Amino acid sequence: MRVVTIVCPPALRERLPAALGPDVEVVTFPQEACNTAEHDGDFRPDDVVISMEMRRPGGMTPKLGLVQLSGAGTDRIDLATVDPSIPVCNVFDHEIPIAEYVIATMLEWQIRLGAMRQGFTAETWASRTAAPATHGELYGKTLGVVGFGRIGKEAAVRASAFGMKVIAVARRPDGGPADEVHPTEALADVLPRCDFVLDTLPLTEATRGLFDATMLAAMKPTGVIINVGRGGTIDEEALFEALSKKTIGGAIIDVWYQYPREPGEAPPPSRFDFFSLDNVIMTPHASAITDALWDRRAATIAENVRRLQAGEPLLNVVRAAQ
């Protein structure tokens, strides 16, 4: 069996040979192999293709053993152009670092450790209890978690440990580590109760622009929205407007609206100048990226390759073979 990496993070690609073992060959194809028929003759029917992207406008992929995403998001995979005989799986293992990121950024929002350190001088030492040195705390605050899956539940466990109240909004209210769980239809009623709103949603037709101007207006004037799901789940212009006019307290943004997709591309993360705002913490879609993440994902993918060879049920099936 052969594993073909296409749109795959280099750090993961480096770990795959050790995780897969010496009997599995690992090769890399260029990005156009995802989106054109140019390299179709180079694929083998039992290849495992690892890629975050697979689109064939007007065509269909060749026969393959498995399409394995190197991450969780499926919005760059056009399942209609992936041959129906091919199972499609994704991989998670990112919920731990993202949940830690959520806690870290909420703590930074409340404590402002960076500003506190910058403001500490010999001259200010005598007035250390004055207003510039005081800060908030997470204890007693309310976190609303929108999308109560793997990330949301891990964040809820950690937020509860800090004495926060957790209110979850989910398609399938199935309990979990939250004080309250409400259906998606109740989102507008939940938002005014939350000091922080955590968006962990995938990008689908149902979630695209879910946080529009109306939803953002339902938040507390001091409320902070945290997006670790997908940029498009929050209306780009409405978010910039709410932050610019300070009708909400702020935002913590790790996922964006424009990404480089081809070599040499360098679009800004948004059409709007979020960098000019003073009520935003911005990071470059890096909340999940730790060394341990790539080791876990390599191990999960290797297990799926083993299961495929053994004819056993696959992990994290997005679409089963038909």
Q: How far is CA 282 from CA 7, 79, 110, 307, in A?
A: 25, 32, 16, 39
CA–CA distance, 219 with 135 (Å, rounded to integer): 22
* Residue 40: HSE in the Cβ half-sphere, 13 Å Cα cutoff: 13
Note whether 233 and 211 are within 8 A (CB): yes
- Whether 285 is a known active-site residue: answer yes
- Whether 230 is a known active-site residue: answer yes
94-117 CB burial, b ≥16 within 10 A, e <16: bbbbbbbbbbbbbbebbebeeeee
**Is the alpha carbon torsion for 261, 266, 271, 275 positive or negative?**
positive
CA–CA distance, 125 with 130 (Å, rounded to integer): 10
Residues 6+ apart with CB under 8 A from 56: 35, 36, 37, 78, 81, 82
- Active-site position among 185, 205, 262, 265: 262
CA–CA distance, 133 with 113 (Å, rounded to integer): 10
* DSSP-H helix ranges across the chain: 10-20, 32-35, 95-111, 113-118, 150-161, 187-190, 213-217, 236-244, 291-310
* Residue 189: HSE in the Cβ half-sphere, 13 Å Cα cutoff: 9
- Active-site position among 285, 306, 307, 319: 285
- Whether 94 is a known active-site residue: answer no
- Active-site position among 56, 94, 230, 297: 230
Torsion on CA atoms 71, 75, 80, 83, rounded to nearest 10: -10
Q: What is the largest CA-CA distance in the chain?
A: 74
Catalytic residues: 230, 262, 285
